[in-house]
Amino acid sequence: MSANTLGHLFRVTTFGESHGVALGAVVDGCPAGVAFDPALLQAMLDRRRPGQSAVVSARDEADVVEVLSGVHDGKTLGTPIAMCVRNRDARPGDYAAIAAAPRPGHADDTWRTKRGHVDPRGGGRASGRETVARVMAAAVARMLLAEVAPTLAVVGYARAIGPFSLDDADAAAVTDTASVDQHPTRFPSADADRVAALLADAKRDGKSYGGIAELRIEGVPAGLGQPVFRKLKADLAGAMLGVGATAGVEFGDGFAAAQAEGSEFHRRESSTHYGGIRGGIATGEPIVLRVAFKPTATVLDEAKRGRHDPCIVPRALPVLEAMAWLVAADHWLLARTDRTDTLR
């Protein structure tokens, strides 16, 4: 079975390969009557696209979205919403060699072991380019939540890139994505220029760095999440780890909580150390989570010849935000089935 679908009620299926004709998403389960905002959809894609600065992949894709179905007169129809973007700057010939020689650190060999017959061009669906489809779908989720949970907001930023780490004061000062996007590295700190220089040098020299992305999900309706097999924390973690090159995820105090003493840990005035979720259910407080990324696998001469990100975190942030919107939309619909008074 090919697992290309995410969600239970708000279901998203993605399709396409990195150097194929197009990539896209089909959203099924979005209710009818949601105001469809093409400008929001394109803006979210623009934040993810390559070629934005000297510290990311130079692949030149405009990622102009085509909405094929499910929308009429500016509103959703309650039927499948199909969207796609065409690949305009594909270079499949760049990957002829890896058809016979898998690249270290990539999924070339594991996909071949699994499928037998694969698309070696840029990794096919194992490429980070597949995430453009997730962002398309997340735009629809965000449109839905803007109507039913208008206080919900998601903002992400780089908490660490290589040897640089954002301090608590800088992290607390982040209020929206516009302030984060002022920096090409999405590292909102006085060290932003030094981080940009580090990544520019790495791109030139064929080196790469890992990092940590931090997300704050605010205005979350209390009660989202199911207490056993669909815990909000589990679904968010699964969504984040479903993004390529992720190495770990933590909520609130995360792994530091393992070193805490219980009578003090659970008596704190603020409960933010839980990360906004208890018992698998949202408390209504901000959800804070962090995702660790490995260094980009394409390095040295291969990186110098190709078009690759020297650190995945800056361009992964819009994708992680997208995954949060998708999970939130699915759980909002699931929560409507929790009690009879929400069905009337």
Place of tokens 């894709």: 61
Residue 55 is predicted with a pLDDT of 76
Could you write out the DSSP letters of every residue in 31-83? PTTPBP-HHHHHHHHHHH-S-SSTTS--------EEEEESEETTEE-SS-EEE
pLDDT for position 125:
86
pTM of the model: 0.93
CATH number of the domain that 333 lies in?
3.60.150.10
Residue 286 neighbours by CB under 8 Å, 6+ apart = 216, 217, 218, 220, 272, 276
Q: Residues near 104 by Cβ (< 8 Å), separated by ≥ 6?
A: 297
The residue count of the chain comes to 344
Instruction: List, for residues 242-279, the tens digit of each pLDDT value.
Output: 999 999 999 999 999 999 999 888 887 666 789 999 99
User: CB-based contacts of 153: which residues, under 8 Å, 6+ apart?
Assistant: 176, 217, 218, 219
Helix (H) or strand (E) holding 145: helix 131-148
Sequence letter at residue 175: T
All residue ranges of the chain with pLDDT < 70 are 1-2, 51-54, 56, 58-60, 90-100, 269-271, 301, 304, 306-307, 343-344
Q: Look at the chain and report how many structural domains it folds into.
A: 1
For residue 112, the model assigns a pLDDT of 84
Give the C-alpha separation, 214 to 216, whole Å: 7
**Which one-letter DSSP state was computed for residue 297?**
S
Residue type, 133: A
DSSP state, residue 250: E
Residues 242, 176, 26, 12, CA torsion sign = positive
* Domain around 118: 5-342
Q: How large is the angle between the packed helices 131-148 and 38-48, nearest 10 degrees? A: 140
Per residue in 93-123, pLDDT (tens digit) is: 666 666 667 878 888 888 888 888 888 777 7
What pLDDT, on the 0 to 100 scale, is given for residue 1? Answer: 46
Contact 296, 311 (CB under 8 A): yes
